[in-house]
Each structure stands twice: as structure tokens, then as C-alpha cells.
């Protein structure tokens, strides 16, 4: 954990490969997704939590300020390791109490996700335990997940509620996120996902529940400033297109940003949802051709979640190449949750993106840094290593950046810098 006696200045020296991801603060599309701003034999100087300079070490060490103040600067010898921007996990569901082992075994026995959900498993089966848990118990679990994410290179996490499904339990879930975030060195972006599924007690009266979400939950959460975004699960077995639009419209009306789970199992019409200016559309396994060209013209980021396809045992993965080649901005995220993706590891997700979605290692890194920052609308501060941006960096114990996605399920993250402070993970 951060050492309070650290100097406000930190120099990362002897970096073998520095991936700056420098460039305009806009989502990278098409061929630009390959542009990772690689500098060999590099150094990064941080001060006051920000990047002061990042570039070739020979140039950086000539800096007059650094030459006179070198003694004031804490130094980390990276010994030829690889440094990239802190990874940004732009889609997670960390507020749950128990793993879903019954669903896991049913799927092994051949049942499908939707079939299990319809038979009483799925999202609804995580709700009772969350309702029974205290805010303190939930925040401990959220913090444990955030720490596991940090260990593997992540410094920004979007965190959704969505297993409370009542005014009280959704508020409790968002408070648990806030409590955990206060004890975590990275940054957390909270999202209200009250419209995850219709809770049991509504007996299938989805419109009634949507009314509750729009007229009670969203206004209250906005008033308490507990979330930055509102999300909705728009799919078969969850909410219809019309219901989803109502949720997003209510979010916007109350000053929240919007994002949506769409096209995981069935295609949605994205045009009407785009009216609500979503920062991201997430999953995107089955997108219609006319929607691909629509997205290529807009700013909404498609967040692909291959951890869910992997864990559900799907043969198919989102068609990243089709989206990239059409010019749709893409990001990657873990989708950390108990039902479809219980992994905190962005490097594992990047590996899946390479092996199953044919993204290159460079594309996977850009999709997990600058484009993920765009998916959270934080690209002015996060996602690349350039003077003025937040000094969030992941140091990997590899010689070549392509190894980050290559060594799958092997934790190669050696050290983290968050807001200019060394985390001291003790793994170097």
C-alpha cells in the first residue's frame, strides 16, 4: 500500500518499452487502434499525482529541472520492464455476496444461461444474499475485488449496483461501492443498474418496476450523488427496448450519464437507444449490419466482454474485427460478476480478445486504456501517459508488451503507480 513518506516526485527509469498511447483524446478507431505510442529505453517523471514528462530516457534526463532536483525525486529502476497506462475496467458488477455455483454446475451439465435464469437461477438468485448483507459486508467484498483488480494492473473501475433491485438495496449497494472506493487508491465510477432484471416480488410486472426505477430510484440516487451513470439490461428475459429507453431517459433527465447492456443474446435496435447519448453499449455479441455503420459515425463506445463468453462456454465471441474494420470504437472490460464472468483480470480479458476475437495485442491494450477511458468519458485525465494526465501506470514483468496478453492466467503485473504513488505490491 502507498507509503506516506513518498516524495511528491517519482521517476520511473530504465523502462524497456513504454506504451504512452499518446494522441488526441478521442476513441481510437480502425487502424488507429494499433497506435500505442511505443518508446524504447524510456522514463516517466511524475509530480503532484500527474505525469510531468514521458519519453526517451536520454532526453528526459537532460531536463534542467530534473538535473538540479534529482535528489528530491524518488526513483524506481524498471530494469527493462514494460510500462503501460493503468488499465481501465469500464464494466464490472462487484456488489454481490456469493458465487453462483449452482448455475456453474448446471451449465456444465448442459443448460444455457437464459434457461437457468428462467428456472430461477441467474441474476435473481444473487438478490436474496445482497438484501441480507449489510452495507459493511458488501463494501468489504467490493474492496477485495478492487484490490484483486489493482494487483493485475487496473487503476480505474466502473462499478455497477444491480443485485439489490429495491430502493433500499440499490442505495445500499451504491453506498458499499462508495465506501470501498474511499479506501482504494484508484478511481471508481459508480453506475446504477436497478434495471438489471425484474425482481421476483413484481411477479413479472415489468412496467411497474420500470416506473419505480424511473420515478423513485433514479431521482433519489441522483439527488444523493451516488452514481454517475444509469445502465439497463436490454435483452430477452430482462427489459424491452421501450422499457430500456424509459430508464435511460429518466437517467438523463436527472443529470446522469447513460450506458446499456445490449445485444448479448438478441439484437436490439440501437438507433432509438442512441437518442439517449449512451457513453457505451456493452456486450454487442449480435449487432445488426445497419447498426454497425451507425456506431461507426458516433461517439458511443462498444464495450466487448469476452470473459462472459468464455465463462458461459460459448463458442462464439463478439465480432471485434468486423466492428474495428467498420470504424466502431471498441473497449474491453472484465464484466466482473458472479453469473457470467468472475474474473478481476484485464490481462486475461486481453488474452481472450487476442485468441478468440483476433484483436492484436496492441489493439487489446488500446481498448483497455485510452478507449476504455473514452467509454467512461475520462479521456481528458486517463488512458494515456502524457504530460498533464493522471500518473496511473502498470508495470509488467515482461520484456515485450505482447507478452501481457500472451501469458494467460499468469499474473505478470509487478507494480502499480496510482496518482503518482508507488503501490508497493511487493511483486518485483
What residues line the site for ligand NIG (CB under 6 A)?
Answer: 93, 122-123, 126, 233, 261, 264, 308, 335, 337-340
Q: For residues 280 and 351, which CB has a smaller minimum distance to Fe ion in the complex?
A: 280
Binding partner of 233, given Fe ion, ligand NIG, none, CB within 5-8 angstroms per partner class: ligand NIG
What are the DSSP calls for 338-364, one per residue?
A: TTTB----HHHHHHHHHHHH---HHHH
Q: Which residues of 327-351 are buried (b: 16+ CB within 10 A; e: fewer)?
A: bbbbbbbbbbbbbbbbbbbbbbbbb
Chain residue at closest Cβ approach to ligand NIG: 339
Q: Which is closer to Fe ion, CB of 93 or CB of 212?
A: 93
Cβ distance to ligand NIG smaller for residue 160 or 389: 160
113/234 Cα distance (integer angstroms)? 15
**Minimum distance from CB of 93 to ligand NIG (Å)?**
6
Is 185 or 237 the residue whose CB approaches ligand NIG more closely?
A: 237
**Partner that binds at residue 339, options Fe ion, ligand NIG, none, CB closer than 5 to 8 Å by kind:** ligand NIG
- CB-CB contact of 366 with 384 (8 Å): no
Min dist CB 328 to Fe ion, Å, is: 19
CB of 93 or CB of 276, closer to ligand NIG: 93
Within 13 Å and on the Cβ side, how many CA atoms surround 83? 32
- Tell me the residue nearest to Fe ion as measured from the CB: 335
| Helix, strand or coil, per DSSP, at residue 387 | coil
Minimum CB–partner distance for residue 236 and ligand NIG (Å): 11
Note the Cα 334 to chain centre separation in Å.
Answer: 7
Coil, strand or helix: which one is 116? Answer: helix
Q: Identify which of residues 335 and 415 has a Cβ nearer to Fe ion in the complex.
A: 335
Q: How far apart are CA 154 and CA 352, in angstroms?
A: 17
Contact 283, 263 (CB under 8 A): yes
Shortest reach from residue 16's CB to ligand NIG, in Å: 36
Binding region for Fe ion (CB under 5 A):
335
Please, what is the minimum distance in Å from the beta carbon of residue 124 to ligand NIG? Answer: 9
Minimum CB separation of residue 106 from Fe ion in Å reads 20
Amino acid at each position: 500500500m502507498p507509503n506516506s513518506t513518498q516524495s511528491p516526485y517519482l521517476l520511473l527509469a530504465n523502462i524497456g518499452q513504454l506504451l504512452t498511447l499518446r494522441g488526441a483524446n478521442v476513441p481510437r478507431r480502425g487502424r488507429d487502434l494499433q497506435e500505442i505510442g511505443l518508446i524504447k529505453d524510456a522514463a516517466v517523471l511524475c509530480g503532484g499525482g500527474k505525469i510531468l514528462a514521458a519519453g526517451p530516457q536520454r532526453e528526459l534526463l537532460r531536463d534542467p529541472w530534473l538535473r538540479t532536483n534529482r535528489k528530491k525525486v524518488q526513483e524506481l529502476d524498471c530494469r527493462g520492464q514494460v510500462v503501460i497506462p493503468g488499465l481501465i475496467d469500464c464494466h464490472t458488477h462487484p456488489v454481490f455476496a456469493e458465487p453462483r455455483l449452482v448455475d456453474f454446475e448446471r451449465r456444465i451439465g448442459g443448460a444455457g444461461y437464459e434457461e437457468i435464469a428462467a428456472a430461477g437461477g441467474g441474476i435473481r438468485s444473487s438478490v436474496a444474499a445482497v438484501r441480507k448483507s449489510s452495507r459493511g459486508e458488501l463494501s468489504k467484498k467490493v474492496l477485495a475485488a478492487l484490490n484483486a483488480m489493482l494487483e493485475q494492473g487496473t487503476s480505474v473501475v466502473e462499478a455497477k449496483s444491480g443485485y439489490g433491485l429495491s430502493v433500499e438495496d440499490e442505495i445500499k449497494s451504491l453506498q458499499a461501492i462508495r465506501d470501498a472506493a474511499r479506501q482504494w487508491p484508484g478511481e471508481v465510477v459508480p453506475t446504477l443498474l436497478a434495471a438489471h432484471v425484474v425482481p421476483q416480488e413484481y411477479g413479472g410486472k415489468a412496467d411497474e418496476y420500470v416506473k419505480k426505477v424511473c420515478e423513485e430510484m433514479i431521482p433519489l440516487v441522483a439527488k444523493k450523488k451516488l452514481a454517475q451513470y444509469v445502465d439497463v439490461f436490454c435483452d430477452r428475459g430482462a427489459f424491452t427496448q421501450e422499457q430500456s429507453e424509459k430508464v435511460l431517459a429518466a437517467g438523463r433527465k436527472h443529470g446522469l450519464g447513460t450506458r446499456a447492456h445490449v445485444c448479448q443474446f438478441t439484437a436490439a435496435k440501437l438507433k432509438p437507444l442512441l437518442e439517449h447519448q449512451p457513453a457505451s453499449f456493452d456486450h454487442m455479441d449480435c449487432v445488426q449490419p445497419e447498426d454497425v455503420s451507425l456506431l461507426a459515425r458516433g461517439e458511443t463506445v462498444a464495450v466487448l466482454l469476452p470473459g462472459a463468453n468464455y465463462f458461459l462456454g460459448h463458442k462464439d465471441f463478439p465480432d471485434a474485427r468486423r466492428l474495428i474494420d467498420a470504424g466502431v470504437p471498441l473497449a474491453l472490460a472484465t464484466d466482473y460478476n458472479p453469473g457470467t464472468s468472475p474474473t478481476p483480470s484485464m490481462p486475461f480479458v486481453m488474452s481472450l480478445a487476442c485468441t478468440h476475437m483476433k484483436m492484436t495485442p496492441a489493439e487489446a491494450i488500446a481498448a483497455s486504456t485510452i478507449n476504455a477511458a473514452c467509454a467512461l468519458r475520462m479521456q481528458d485525465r486517463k488512458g494515456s501517459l502524457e504530460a498533464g494526465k493522471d500518473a496511473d501506470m502498470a508495470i509488467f514483468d515482461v520484456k515485450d508488451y505482447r507478452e501481457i496478453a500472451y501469458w494467460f492466467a499468469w499474473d505478470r503485473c509487478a507494480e502499480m503507480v496510482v496518482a503518482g504513488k508507488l503501490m508497493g505490491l511487493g511483486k518485483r
